[in-house]
Amino acid sequence: MVRGDTIGTDMEERLQKLIARAGITSRRKAEELILAGEVTVNGKVVTTLGAKADPERDHIKVRGKLINPLLRSQEKVYILLYKPKGVLSSLSDPKKRPLVTDFLPRLPARVYPVGRLDFQSEGLILLTNDGDFANLITSAKYEIPKTYHVKVKGIPGEKQLNLLRRGVVIEGKRTAPAKITELRRTDSNAWYEVTIIEGRHHQIRKMFDKIGHSVVKLKRVGIGFLTAKGMKPGTYRHLTPAEVKQFFEYARTPKK
């Protein structure tokens, strides 16, 4: 029986967490499905984000498909892919553009991208069917750093870069402090290494737009301790169990 925040049994979990764990989509997207009335529990539509259910006892459907078998048999898959430029970080596209999943072989489970890397950018992106892992990587509260190499138009002054280091207001919300180091420069452009702990939509591009130096090229070269070393556009590898464990241990470590 679906319940609100008052739990009836220890086996009950939030619906968005169950949907993500089944590999249907990310926890954030699962919340959108719930609010849109796309989720039912024992035949009843549930639109409350705090609702919980017991997958051993309740019949949980997403868009009419029963997810209970997926919860029982799902093998966890964790993949690191170097996304080429001109590829969507999505599972489908009405315009039939290339997708990140086009570069993967047949897998024992359906995986989905963890966060986004925009169409014109290249670099590292994770794909998984583990909703808890995806939430850990994307949630700012766990402070998983993402590192980018960014080429910008013109050469920003140190005062402008310090604004980004401290945080700037984008769409009414201040960004978390960023680490920015110059890599190289020409007469008309400069490359920087930028590390942030957030993953807001087009964040790096909007940050540099804020100081009047638009991004020309953007590459994500690091996610936590994972790097792009030895990887080329379109290549991928599976994470090792030790690497997955290291991310969860990092998330549990208190941050200063």
Residues noted as catalytic: 118
Give the H/E segment covering residue 70.
Answer: helix 68-73
73, 75, 81, 85: CA torsion to nearest 10: 0
Amino acid at 97: R
At residue 7, the 3 state secondary structure works out as coil
d(CA 73, CA 66): 13
In this structure, what token pair is assigned to residue 24?
A: 């249907």
In this structure, what token pair is assigned to residue 1?
A: 């029986």
Q: 194 forms bridges with which residues in the sheet?
A: 148, 180
At residue 14, the 3 state secondary structure works out as strand
Question: b vs e for 242-254, b when ≥16 Cβ sit within 10 Å of the residue's Cβ?
Answer: eebeebeebbeee
Who contacts 218 (Cβ-Cβ below 8 Å, separation ≥6)?
118, 120, 121, 122, 123, 148, 149, 150, 151, 204, 205
d(CA 229, CA 5): 45
